[in-house]
A = this chain, B = another copy of it.
Amino acid sequence: MSKISQQNSTPGVNGISVIHTQAHASGLQQVPQLVPAGPGGGGKAVAPSKQSKKSSPMDRNSDEYRQRRERNNMAVKKSRLKSKQKAQDTLQRVNQLKEENERLEAKIKLLTKELSVLKDLFLEHAHNLADNVQSISTENTTADGDNAGQ
């Protein structure tokens, strides 16, 4: 679901857009000619105040109105698409970070082990060498094979 990329902006393309015309043309049911607000949409609805705001209540038949509505609808679609995209990206980011995390943890594990080994080796050798030194200095004969580490 969803896609990538961003969307165009050519008018009238997208899904389909042939309706408005018909709508107001057919005069199916036209809300009260000049109503403050309608029920359906997103408007809220407080009181049926007249039509404050400007002298023109902006009638729904106006081309001007339809045009603006259409533009806004496009903008809304675009915005929502963008929003979804972003959400998806964020989700992707999470997975990306989780992977990176695992990688880092593995590395830590490795380094820790390496360190541990080296420490042991160090101690061991130190002792061995120390012993050697000791034996040699004391004229000891028994030799203990030394070796090169790592």
Contact = CB atoms under 8 A, between A and B. Distances in A.
A8 B111 CA distance: 51
A26 interface: yes
Size class of the contact patch on chain A: 35 or more
Interface in A68-117: 87, 90-91, 93-94, 97-98, 100-101, 104-105, 107-108, 111-112, 114-115
A37 interface: yes
Given A2-B19, A87-B87, A11 B45 contact: yes
Interface of A: 1-20, 22-24, 26, 28-32, 35-49, 60, 87, 90-91, 93-94, 97-98, 100-101, 104-105, 107-108, 111-112, 114-115, 118-119, 121-122, 125-126, 129-130, 132-133, 136-137, 146, 149
